[in-house]
């Protein structure tokens, strides 16, 4: 009598963990225990050990973990606030491309304001050293990242917002008042032709407003998920933006409306139109 082969094991759909949630779980484990065990975590999440190791390599590349034999340990220069790291993991590839592309658009700027958020952190990560450049920022992670490099870094001080590790309040505003910026490079919680640049809180928005008012040019970095959306606090109208750097997932209709307001749109990851010009070297780069 033939022996029936055992039924194939089926993966329950309700156990499937999205990669972002899986990496979030890894960060939470490291934050709690300072280490993880690959085999144990693979069993808990119902994936292979190779998948967990790929996640660890991805997190290490993004600066969240430092890998050791058999697991990972916390990167000593990074805060492990779980909600912050969860946001950082969203659209991480697009943010890297945007950050790298934006470093090509400085056009000789010497005094630069850097805003807050994970996309601007990617810009800081890829910013080439320049001993004659001054970076002024409200972001403590960015100040920490750039503080050891051969350029001048100024953290403006003030009260610290826990979720973003950024400075705000009257003393931060007064510190910004001492500078004139060749360029302000900022992120946005939302960006649309109708509402312009928006942030999550008015405390964050006020810092961005003050920096923009004192800047000759403004670059906004925003991944495609932010384009066409708006949050509570208005920073500035879209017409105040000189250049928007985004990715290919951004709404083409909304980008068209922004171009109509005079915004130069640079789409990271697309081939250059003109290799001779950094500012005009991306598809959609004309005003």
What distances in angstroms separate CA 57 from CA 54, 141, 276, one per listed residue?
A: 5, 21, 35
Any alpha helices (H) in 147-217, and if so which ranges? 170-176, 202-213
Residue reference for tokens 């879209």? 238
Compute the average pLDDT of residues 272-280. Answer: 37
- Higher pLDDT pick, 112 / 37: 112
The pLDDT assigned to 269 comes to 79
Give ∠ CA 242-244-250 in degrees, rounded to 5: 150
Structure tokens at 35: 């280490």
Least confident of 54-63, 71-80, 258-267: 71-80
Following CA atoms 29, 32, 33, 38 in sequence, which dihedral angle do they give, to the nearest 10 degrees? 0
Domains of the chain: 16-87 (1.10.10.10), 93-267 (3.40.50.1360)
Q: How many CB atoms lie within 10 A of CB 143?
A: 22
Of 262, 272, 204, nearest to 237 by C-alpha is: 262
**Residue 84: pLDDT over 60:** no
**Residue 87: pLDDT over 70:** no
Q: How far is it, in rounded angstroms, from Cα 185 to Cα 115?
A: 6
Beta bridge pairs of residue 198: 190, 234
């Amino acid at each position: 009598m033939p022996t029936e082969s055992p039924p194939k094991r089926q993966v329950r759909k309700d156990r499937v963990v999205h990669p972002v949630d899986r990496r979030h779980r890894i960060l939470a484990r490291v934050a709690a225990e300072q280490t993880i065990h690959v085999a144990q975590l693979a069993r808990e999440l119902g994936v292979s050990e190779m998948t967990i190791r790929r996640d660890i390599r991805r997190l290490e590349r993004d600066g969240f973990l430092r890998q050791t034999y058999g697991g990972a340990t916390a990167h000593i220069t990074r805060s492990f606030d779980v909600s912050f790291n969860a946001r950082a993991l969203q659209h991480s590839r697009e943010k890297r491309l945007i950050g790298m592309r934006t470093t090509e658009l400085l056009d000789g700027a010497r005094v630069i304001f850097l805003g807050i958020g994970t996309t601007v952190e990617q810009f800081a990560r890829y910013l080439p050293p320049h001993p004659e450049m001054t970076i002024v920022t409200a972001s403590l992670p960015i100040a920490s990242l750039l503080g050891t490099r051969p350029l001048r870094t100024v953290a403006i001080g003030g009260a610290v917002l826990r979720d973003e590790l950024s400075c705000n309040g009257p003393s931060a505003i007064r510190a910004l008042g001492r500078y004139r910026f060749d360029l302000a490079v900022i992120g946005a919680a939302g960006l649309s032709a109708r509402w312009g640049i928006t942030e999550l809180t008015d405390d964050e928005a006020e810092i961005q407003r003050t920096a923009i008012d004192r800047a000759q040019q403004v670059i906004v970095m925003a991944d495609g998920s932010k384009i066409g959306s708006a949050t509570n606090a208005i920073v500035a109208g879209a017409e105040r933006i000189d250049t928007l750097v985004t990715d290919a997932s951004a709404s083409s209709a909304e980008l068209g409306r922004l171009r109509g307001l005079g915004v130069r749109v640079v789409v990271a990851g697309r081939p250059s139109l003109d290799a001779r010009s950094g500012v005009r070297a991306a598809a959609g780069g004309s005003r």
